[in-house]
Amino acid sequence: MDMRVNPLLQPWSAPHGLPPFDAVEPEHFVPAFEHAMAEHRRELDAIAASAEPPTAANTLAAFDAAGLALARLDHLFHNLTASHTSPALQQVQRELAPRLAAHENAVFTHRGVYERLAALHARRDALGLDAETLRLLERVHLDFVRAGATLAPEAQKRHAHLVECMATLMTQFAQNVLADESQWWLELRGEADLAGLPDAVRAAARQAAADRGLDGAHVITLSRSLVVPFLTSSDRRDLRERAWRAWADRGERGGATDNRAIVRELLQLRAEQAALHGYATFADYALADTMARDQAAVRRLLDDVWRRALDALAREREALEALRREAGDTGTLEPWDWRWWAEKARQRRFAVDDAEVKPYFALERMVAAAFDCAQRLFGLRFVERPDLPVYHPDVKAYEVFDAAGAVIGVFLHDNFARPSKRSGAWMSVLREQSRALGAKPIVLNNNNFAKAAPGEPVLLGFDDVRTLFHEFGHGLHGLLSNVTYRRLAGTNVLRDFVELPSQLFEHWATERDVLRRHARHVRTGEPIPDALIDRLHAARRFGQAYETARYTASAIVDLEAHALPAGRTPDDVVAFEREVLERLGAPAAAGMNHRLVHFQHLFSGSWYAAGYYVYLWAEVLDADAFDAFVEAGDPFDAATAERLRRHVYAAGDSVEPGATYAAFRGRAPALEPMLRKKGLLAEA
């Protein structure tokens, strides 16, 4: 390919340096990556070849600034493969996965660069570095060590091979899950199949059918925003079972998309990787660079919450069983029944019905609510820019201004499910913030809400609203970042700190003042009644035991799978998962959030491997953190919000997370607010 006509290798001239989305084709990526990787290697070679003694400027800061062309390309590519992929792009992804892994390995085992960094690290206390630069030195040095820079040559070679193999397997795992999700749907034929479904679910199912060329039909897809409401409201138990099985069996259907062998091999390779670093298990290796530090600390947290969740779950189940007895249902409570009966119990106990609630939670109003909270807390203003380039018509672009009127970044909001998009919800970036590089962040939020028919409002359930606020919290973490070095920017923090800004921001979604301002009936414009807010708040804890048990079961299975030493990986990962759940006493009817065969947190990448517990640890932090506003008597207290911005949202990884949390809160976090929030304190 002529490099002169490859748009990825030309200057990105769109406002804010946004990519030339409309000009990019899949075949542009391989030559562009080859060019960018070669440029990065030359930059590293130049650092290593310097005749000057190593300094923070000529070695550490230079390393942080190297590879910018590769970084912008990598961000674009991985955002497209997650948010708007295609068979051609997936083929490129499979081709590039091991090559990009090999390049990253070469970067962090570059002998000349590492020797200069190691020399700086050895003298770090005598260099007179400012706190952020010292933190950068410690983090980058550890990056090299954990990537294998200090291994013996043969071990380093084996480590590189493992990393490349894992990259290939993780790419295939993610593509398999997407295939299982996008290729399955349940067509509902006639009113009998639609029984029990509220208007909002019917409308979403009708639009999902239209998106698949089935005009006039209704289909249930495996988008969470469609399948969960269906499992909650459908009166057709047989159809609920079909939907639940399809949802639960992703990655275990046999054939080309079956993930069982991939999971087994990834566990084997990770255990060997840990052994090369001198750790007994991958869990030990992964947790060494977290706030928790070791398995024992994680197990204490998970075991405590699991015991409390089981007790509370038994109470929730009794409420369901009482309703079933009253209705004359003497059969077995199955996983596809739980949400349906729980909704009946919730409606009876709290008089909260999604059909009544959803009209107050139109997507556009909830986006405005999130933006308004960001303005009231941090002075931010989001201004839509329809003229900015985006990668799909569903995406909305915004310039983000601070309280002084200066642009601090760009925010792209991609809210709808589609076959070309992976499931779940996530935040990502096209560019990290860096004062040294003069770089303002470009942040993306992806959700998977079910789209309404053209011209109709998209109505969210209350869980969807929390998801929107959660991902927006991550987005604020990226947008408010105010650090010198990109390695320390935004969400580049320790795993068990990264979910704090997101889960904390969820609290504002349920604040009475926020609901009164923004939750307005989609037809009448009337604000949500106080009586309904009261019922929503009263119902907030109902179902928490179910959700906590499902989450904690997944976190424990994750930890157990990654706590196996090399050579002990089970031949049958599904049987292993089942044995762990039986040992825990996990009720089969409750199930778990993610089974190993489709657990993308663990096997589409390695970021959450042995670390799914982080959401629970973040709940400890977020409940305790929000109590600071409760104690101030105002959810928008200016002084508390300023401390939060400075020490949590803006700090990135420039300060050790325990220290920066203590700087915000004035002390270490307490466990009790989280237990109280989830209703897991005794008799709470």
Cα 255–chain centre separation: 28
First to last CA, the chain: 66
C-alpha to C-alpha distance for 651 and 661, rounded to whole angstroms? 10
Single out the residue of 574, 579, 578, 671 nearest to residue 621, CA to CA: 671
- Look at residues 204, 217, 69, 181 and name the one whose alpha carbon lies nearest to residue 422: 181
CA distance 96 to 201: 40
Tokens matching residue 587: 């009720």
Residue 328, phi then psi, degrees to nearest 5: 80, 15
Q: What backbone phi and psi angles, to 5 degrees, belong to 521?
A: -60, 135
* Residue recorded with tokens 């913030």: 433
Closest CA to 587 of 240, 289, 313, 280: 313
Choice among 43, 471, 499, 560 that is catalytic:
471
DSSP letters, 158-202, are HHHHHHHHHHHHHHHHHHHHHHHHHT--EEE-STTTTTT--HHHH
Chain mean position to CA 615: 10
Yes or no: say if 19 and 387 are a contact pair by the CB < 8 Å rule. Answer: no
Q: Which residue, among 353, 371, 358, 461, has the nearest Cα to 413 in the 3D structure?
A: 371
The rounded distance, in Å, linking the Cα atoms of 85 and 91 is: 10
Residue 153 neighbours by CB under 8 Å, 6+ apart: none
Using CA atoms, how far residue 318 sits from 314, 324, 350, 432, 681, in Å, is 6, 10, 17, 49, 18
Residue (of 224, 221, 203) closest to 212 by Cα position: 221
> In Å, how far are 21, 622, 624, 639 from 628, measured between CA atoms?
43, 10, 7, 10
Question: Do the beta carbons of residue 542 and residue 345 sit within 8 Å?
Answer: yes
Identify whether 272 is a catalytic site residue: no
Count the Cβ atoms, other than its own, within 10 Å of residue 535. Answer: 19
Per-state percent for the chain, helix, strand, coil, to nearest 5: 60, 5, 35
Whole-angstrom Cα distance, residue 567 to residue 564? 8
Inter-axis angle of helices 87-108 and 153-182, nearest 10: 160
Cβ atoms 475, 443 nearer than 8 A: yes
What single-letter amino acid sits at 366?
M
Tokens of 277: 């670093």
DSSP 8-state secondary structure symbol assigned to residue 261: H
User: H helices then E strands: how many in the chain?
Assistant: 27, 7
Q: Which residues are identified as catalytic?
A: 471
